[in-house]
Amino acid sequence: MNTRAPAVQARQLVKTYPGDVTALNGLDVTVEPGTVFGLLGPNGAGKSTTVKILTTLARADSGSATVAGHDVLRHPDRVRRAIGVVAQNSGADPVATGRENLELQGRLYGVRGRTLTARVDELLERFALTEAARRQVKGYSGGMRRRLDLALGLVHRPDVLFLDEPTTGLDPEARTAMWDEIARLAGHEGLTILLTTHYLEEADRLADRIAIVDRGRVVVEGTPDGLKGELRGDAVHVELRETLGDSGRALLQGALGTVPGVHEVLFDGRRVSVRADDGAACVPALLGALERAGAGVASATVARPSLDDVYLRYAGRRYSEAEAPGADALVLAGGAR
Amino acid sequence: MSATLLDTWYMTRRQLVVFARQPAYAVITLIQPVIWLFLFGSLFRKVVELGGFGTTSYLDYLVPGVVVMSALSSNMWAGMGTLEEIQRGTLNRFLTTPVSRAALMNGNVVNNGLVTALQSVVIVLLGLLGGADYPGGIGGVTVLVVASVLLGTVFGALSNALGMLVRERESIIGINTFLLLPLTFLSSAFMAPSQTPSWMRHIADFNPLDWAMVAGRSAMSAHPDWGDVLGRGGALLGLAVAAVWLSIRTFRSYQRSV
């Protein structure tokens, strides 16, 4: 196989579920071999549907996709041999032991005999499950189960590994441990990883490249630093005492836009996000402008750009609000192109 | 083909392990028939005096009835297991591997068949302990076991199809509770057909439960009517094939709806 060919390529994927729910609306994704690619977005953005299509579980209504060079529709069996999948509910058999789960998984890929035993031993050790290997999975902690899920996805040494929300539901400690595991995998044997997450921090920490998915399409793609770098300067977040009407917003937009060093003013409920060359330096001028405009300020913070800011900029909503169903945010982009 | 066979074996073994490791479940599956056997056996002991049972011991008559009823009641719940595998993500995990799709369904059928056969044999042996007489010998018992496995396959496959279709426990529980007793009592399970109202007999003719009982009882009697055995047995086989076909179709539609 040509190593320069993308490990995953999806073009214009569309998927509608019964009841006219559009899960994907023309999604494009390209993942280079040997990299970690993060699909980032709130629940319901279409990340899991994308993974289901790429792992041959679901069929797209239209569009095409190849994984490890094989077309998911024409050669699903070749795709299945080349991929490992760790789904949100990976479904290890609770009554079977960790070792039995791994052995069965290996057998389904045609790994047998001594090769299988050696591979299972290796994985058990690598994921610190050797001691628990002979115990039934129902007695495992959440973190242990997740590590077993990862091992299940790796038994047959796949070329491409899909991780669908790998740390959802884990406590912070287990999450950090999982991040370390994934980071270690990433540098390994040219494995390509496509991971979905709704944690900004997770994508920032693990992924070489990120695509932000919103309402079934990719709204922006790039490296975490590149995306943050596109937002010039610092973010100043001001929390107002009350939500403004349209006219109040327009008024503030004008007032704040004239403060020296300010590029961009975004409104989002009671929050005003200002992008400025030197955030700390322009805070006094900003607060002055707000006071003159008669807007009461509850708090003001200065921050380096985060993926949350990237999300607000490209998806038009603040990340936490996209997570909450029915949330609505209005954006008046001053300096934005 | 050999890959399908091998995968079927892996899938069957996986489920047998679950059965063997849940002793409480296994014991309940086996104890329930015992209760039926000795409860009904004592309760209706004198009913044979009415005549038409083809024996002077009610236990002789009752054993095939309890075997078939147990085959029905244990297989009806197959869909719950499938539902659990769907909700736990196990089924989707298998579907992303190259495992033979047919093996995923075959594993259920073979596992249920083996458990039903075991359950049937245990009931027959318990009956023997209680003093039941089987004039048809091993051959007759084998026919009964095969008939109950076929019946179990019919309802196991339908229950699986239902589980994949409705994806909620409540529906399976509701339908099973609704079906079990009418199907059992609208058959010759506990009462000789000649002692039941004629409308019940007509309904029983269309009840697969009754087919399994008629085939089993006839084969186990001193003078089997092989025409009856083959006729009912063949009908059961046909129904089992149709039910499995239906569950495979449902499985395909499940795959499309993931």
Q: pLDDT tens digits, residue range B168-221?
A: 899 999 999 999 889 998 999 888 988 899 999 999 999 999 999 999 999 999
Tell me the percentage of chain B whose pLDDT exceeds 90. 68
Per the domain annotation, does A330 fall within a domain? no
Q: Could you tell me if A191 and A59 lie in one domain?
A: yes
Instruction: Give the integer Cα–Cα distance in Å for B21 and B198.
Output: 46
Confidence of residue A49 (pLDDT cuts 50, 70, 90): very high
How confident is the prediction for chain B on average, in pLDDT?
A: 91
Assess A83–B contact: CB distance below 8 Å, yes or no: yes
Residue A116 and residue A54 in one domain: yes
Q: Which residue carries 């009754």 as its tokens?
A: B210
Q: Is the pLDDT of residue A334 over 50?
A: no
Residues A161 and A238 placed together within one structural domain of the fold = no
Tell me, yes or no, whether A289 and A164 share the same domain: no
* Mean pLDDT across B62-77: 94
Q: Taking CA atoms, what residue in B is nearest to A154?
A: B97
Q: Where are the alpha helices (DSSP H) in chain B?
A: 2-21, 23-43, 58-75, 78-88, 90-95, 101-129, 137-166, 169-185, 198-205, 208-220, 226-257
Residue B99, chain A, CB below 8 Å: the answer is yes
Structural domains of chain A, count: 2
Among the candidates A189, A222, A255, a domain finishes at A222
In this complex, do A89 and B14 lie within 8 Å of one another by their Cβ atoms?
no
Alpha carbon distances (Å) from B9 to A252, B3, B75, B105, B255: 71, 10, 20, 11, 22
> What is the bridge-based pairing of β-strands A160-164 and A83-86?
parallel
- For chain A, the farthest-separated pair of C-alpha atoms sits apart, in whole angstroms, at 78
A245 CA: distance to closest CA in chain B (Å): 44
- Sorted by sequence, the CB contacts under 8 Å of residue A251 that are 6+ apart come out as A293
Using alpha carbons, select from A95, A96, A116, A98 the residue that is nearest to residue A107: A116
Distance CA B113, CA B240 (A): 11
Cross-chain Cβ contact B96/A83 below 8 Å: yes
For residues A310 and A222, give the distance between their C-alpha atoms in angstroms, rounded to a whole number: 11
CA B75: distance to chain centroid?
5
Amino acid at A208: D
Nearest-CB residue to A89 (from B89, B99, B257): B89
More confident residue, A240 or A247: A240
Assessment of whether the complete model's pTM goes beyond 0.90 = no
Same domain as A292, residue A162: no
For residue A87, list chain B residues with Cβ-Cβ distance below 8 A: 89, 92-93, 96
From edge to edge, which strands make up the β-sheet containing A234-240? Answer: A262-268, A271-276, A234-240, A297-303
- Compute the nearest-CA separation of B18 from chain A (Å): 6
* A23, A144: one domain: yes
- Whether A107 and chain B come into contact, CB under 8 Å, resolves to yes
Say yes or no to pLDDT of A328 above 70: no
Q: What residues of chain A lie within 8 A of the CB of B89, using their CB?
A: 87-91
Q: Are residues A269 and A176 in the same domain?
A: no
Q: Is A292 exposed, middle or buried (0-12, 13-18, 19+ CB in 10 A)?
A: exposed
**CATH code: domain of residue A270:** 3.30.70.100
Residue scoring higher pLDDT (A274 or B96) = B96
A33 and A140, same domain (yes or no): yes
Residues of A with CB below 8 A from B91's CB?
Answer: 91
| Range of the structural domain that residue A95 is part of | 8-222
Q: Are A26 and A144 in a shared domain?
A: yes
Residues A243 and A302 in one domain: yes
Q: Does residue A115 sit within a domain?
A: yes
Section B8-13 average pLDDT: 95
Q: Is A52 on the interface with B (CB under 8 A)?
A: yes
**What pLDDT score was predicted for residue B206?**
95
Which residue has better confidence, A163 or A235? A163
Domain identity same for A178 and A299: no
pLDDT number for residue B135: 93
Average pLDDT over residues B41-54: 88
Beta carbons of B89 and A95 less than 8 Å apart: no
Q: Would the pLDDT of A83 be above 80?
A: yes
The candidate with the shortest Cα–Cα distance to B61, out of B51, B70, B71, is B51
List residues bridging with A16 in a β-sheet: A22
pLDDT digits (tens, 9 = 90+) for B122-146: 999 999 998 899 999 999 999 999 9
- For residue A330, what pLDDT band results from cuts at 50, 70 and 90? very low
B22 touches chain A (CB under 8 A): yes
Q: Is there a contact between A252 and A265 (Cβ–Cβ < 8 Å)? A: yes
Three-state secondary structure call for residue A272: strand
Which DSSP string do the residues of A202-265 spell out, in sequence order? HHHHH-SEEEEEETTEEEEEE-HHHHHHHS-SEEEEEEESS---HHHHHHHHHHHHTSTTEEEE
CA separation for the pair B258, A107 (Å, rounded): 24
How big is chain A, counted in residues? 337
Q: Tell me which chain B residues have a C-beta less than 8 angstroms from the C-beta of A95.
A: 17-18, 21-22
A72 secondary structure, DSSP code: T
Inside any domain, residue A1: no
Q: How many CB pairs under 8 A join A and B?
A: 67
DSSP string, A275-306: EESSHHHHHHHHHHHHHHTT--EEEEEEE---
A3 is a domain residue: no
Q: Which of A313, A337, A315, A310 is nearest to A327 (CA)?
A: A315
Whichever domain contains A52, its CATH number is: 3.40.50.300
What percentage of chain B reaches a pLDDT higher than 70? 100
Question: Strand order of the sheet with strand A217-222?
Answer: A83-86, A160-164, A192-197, A36-40, A209-214, A217-222
Contact, A139 vs A171, CB < 8 A? Answer: no
| Shortest Cα distance, chain A CAs vs residue B208, angstroms | 34
> How far, in Å, CA of A151 to CA of A122, rounded?
10
A71 CA to chain B: closest CA distance, Å? 15
In angstroms, rounded to a whole number, what is the distance separating the alpha carbons of residues B56 and B47?
A: 10
Residue where a domain stops, chosen among A175, A201, A222: A222
Contact check, Cβ <8 Å, A96/B99: no
Q: List the alpha helices (DSSP H) in chain A.
A: 47-54, 76-82, 98-108, 113-126, 142-154, 172-186, 200-206, 224-230, 246-257, 279-292, 307-315, 319-323
Percent share of chain A, pLDDT over 90: 50
* Average per-residue pLDDT for chain A: 86
Chain-chain contact of B18 with A59 (C-beta, under 8 angstroms):
no
Q: Give the span between the Cα atoms of B222 and A196, in whole angstroms.
A: 68
What is residue A42's three-state secondary structure? coil
- How many of the other CB atoms lie within 10 Å of CB of A183? 12
Nearest-angstrom CA–CA distance, A123 and A51: 24
- pLDDT mean over A309-328: 63
Tokens representing residue A172 in the block: 């912070």
Q: Report the pLDDT averaged over residues A3-11.
A: 86
| In a domain? residue A277 | yes
Final residue before a domain boundary, out of A222, A257, A274? A222
Nearest CA in chain A to B17: A96
Span A332-336, average pLDDT: 30
Residue A255 has a pLDDT of 83
Residue A308, SS3?
helix
**B17 contact residues in A (CB cutoff 8 A):** 95-96, 100
pLDDT at B3 over 90: no
Owner of token pair 């079934």 = A216
Tell whether B96 is within 8 A of chain A (Cβ).
yes
**Using the beta-carbon criterion (under 8 Å), do B93 and A93 form an inter-chain contact?**
no
User: A8-12, A53-57, A98-102, B98-102: lowest mean pLDDT where?
Assistant: B98-102
Q: For residues A228 and A231, which has the higher predicted lDDT (pLDDT)?
A: A228
Same-domain status, A113 and A16: yes
Mean pLDDT of A155-174: 92
Q: Would A37 be classed as within a structural domain?
A: yes
Nearest Cβ partner for B97 among A90, A93, A109: A109
What mean pLDDT is predicted for residues A282-299?
86
* A337 assigned to some structural domain: no
Q: Which residue has the higher pLDDT, B46 or A109?
A: A109
pLDDT at position A181 over 60 = yes
